[in-house]
Amino acid sequence: MTKSQIRSRIQILSAEIERHNRLYYAEASPEITDYEYDLLVQELQDLQAKHPLVQTPDVLDKVGDDLDKSAKNIPHKQRMASLANAYSIQEVIAWWDKISLELGGRPELCLEPKIDGFGINLFFSSGKFQYATTRGDGAVGEDVSENFLTLPQIPRTISFQNDIEIRGEIYFPIQDFLAMNEARRQNEEKPFANPRNAAAGSIKLKDIALVKDRPLRAFFYTTGYIAGTAPFGSQDELLRWLKDSGFPISDKHYVCVDEDSLIDFCTQMEALRNELDYDIDGVVVKVDNLALHNRLGSTSKSPKWAIAYKFKPDEKETLLKSVDFQVGRTGAITPVAILEPVYISGSTVSRSTLHNFDEIRRLDLHEGDTIRLIKSGEIIPKILAVNFDKRLAGAEPISLPDTCPVCHSPLSREEEAAIEYCSSADCPAQLARSIEHFASRDAMDITGLGTFIVSRFLKEGIIESVADLYGIDFAKVKELERIGEKSAQNLQEAIQKSKDKNFDRVLFALGIRHVGTVTARNLAVHFQTIEALEQATNQELSEVPEVGDIIAKSISDYFANPKNLRLVQELIGQGLKMSYESEQESELLAELSFLVTGSLKSISRKDMESLIISHGGKILSGVSKSLDYLIVGEKPGSKLTKAEKLGTVKIISEDELLTMLERDK
């Protein structure tokens, strides 16, 4: 490379690193994995080392910045630094050798799993919690105290009376993360890229009610500023002190004195990572003796007494068989890669969402390509890159449609957005998805009206719109092949029963873009009637919790469409509830909190929650000390284990809850 080419490459790498820093820290919306990012950094470091006379930007000395300049920001009393990374045990051993020479002896190391979460800093004074801040730019953090205090099992007081900063990571339990992303996909909301970004986005939400609905958790592992003498002298003792003080910590830390122990621990953690209910992306290696930290010091960006051994992503090659373009209920076109099935990170993957057309262009996907696949955050399948060496001769680029793959109407893209939409409100695919959404459990809960039946009814002309569901000729349905009389009768009863759903469920069922279940309930409670909602201005809409400019515009656009107004009038004519009715029947469960886990036998989870609310009870999003009752159905999840460990939660069945209501009548 010439000097000009080297300078050009350095400028390109610097700009890319700056951009990905912004996406990762400020926008919580990364486009590449940590491993890909570190490869860019490594390339830039190598170029700088080999060509020291070439003037280079200082991007590598900058610490990532997640600050919201409009929020309340508080300076850290001691800087929150980033760790240097290593991608092989040999690099870690080389680091150990280097600091051993500097110290004149080989120090013991404390090894801990590296939680892939969102950094948090707590400040205590006189033994009392004062505030919680994000990592920010390392020197200043954003105040998230109110949101942070929604997390369970965080002590408000400690025995240490001097000023102290306690630091850790906020994370999202994996199963809860998967459930939330599935709900977001069903509502055609953008899913989070990984649990870390879900945690980052959640802790900084402006609506504390939404934060409470997200089961955030935290692990703590270090301190920042300490006034006076610390009550511990090593990292191992620090972790034990944190645990004794009531802070949740990882139970998998280990003090090692030799290379074999180091290798064994790192190998075990890498093997264990897919079994944990939280995401780890490596092992943090620290000098155990805290007094040696001061001797070793820090660089402008990282401490010299610690290093992060980062796991390489589990990466596999497989064949791209095709790309399907799916049409959602709002007309959103989502490309999905169909893959030759491959086993990776604990499961077999045969599909990978490509998110949008820009992603296909960025990857330069061609027909029959061999692609490199990873699981982002070890959870979501993601195409990392194409192996261009294995590209077939004459392979054609993946053809991107300019019309809807179902109705062939032109596609359009919202301003400053990345999603292509079908422009036709009469698109059969949109209609089918809209009916499926309307009948879904969180909407009208019409059991038996799934994808197959909806498709069949549309094909046979049984229905042509959502409103037609309430005028189905079931004599014709009973004559259809593969649909028995009993199934038809059950479906008829389910459709009739759906008329009892409250206004908020009907509003969610309409499928207004960006309006999920929580927003639908907030809108229903605020405006009370569909007429008031139809006439609301964008300013009036934005006064509702969780409704910003984008959602307000989406609601206004929906009711500006004459076709949608006709649908609402038809549903009113069929007897659906278009005004909000208070569900309060009694105060029998007042001041009591409940949570449901597992499948219930006699009632849906949504109806159980509505029943509890109607008697004054409160529904929590996760297990905590403030939870009074956990209602357990079949195949309960991790919530049952957490409640049993907590020991203060009363665990009951759905029958016992119903008995409570009967007994108190």
Angstrom distance (rounded) from CA 379 to CA 196: 12
What the block records as the tokens of 305 is 């007494």
Nearest alpha-carbon partner for 349 in 327, 320, 385, 328: 320
Strand order in the sheet with 118-125: 128-134, 118-125, 164-171, 217-226
Q: Which residues pair with 410 in a beta bridge?
A: 403
Burial string for 563-580 (b: 16+ CB within 10 Å, else e) reads ebeebbebbbeeebbbeb
Return the H-helix or E-strand segment holding 420: strand 420-422
Task: Name which of 665, 570, 577, 638 is nearest 175 in CA terms.
Answer: 638
- DSSP calls for 275-316: GSSS-EEEEEEEESBTHHHHHH-B-SSSBTTEEEEEPPP--E
* Known catalytic membership, residue 375: no
Structure tokens at 110: 């404390």
Which strand (E) or helix (H) includes residue 130?
A: strand 128-134
SS3 of residue 209 by DSSP: helix
Distance in angstroms (rounded) separating the CA atoms of residues 313 and 175: 20
Tokens of 580: 């909000």
Dihedral sign (CA 256, 258, 261, 264) = positive
Residue 585 gets the label, from left (phi > 0), alpha (psi -120 to 50) or beta, of: alpha
Contact present, 92 and 307 (Cβ < 8 Å)? yes
Query: Which is catalytic among the residues 50, 98, 114, 375?
Result: 114
The C-alpha atoms of residue 405 and residue 430 are separated, in whole angstroms, by: 11
Instruction: Report the DSSP pairing between strands 618-619 and 593-597.
Output: parallel
Burial class of residue 484 (count of CB atoms within 10 Å of its CB; 0-12, 13-18, 19+): exposed
| Residues taking part in catalysis | 114
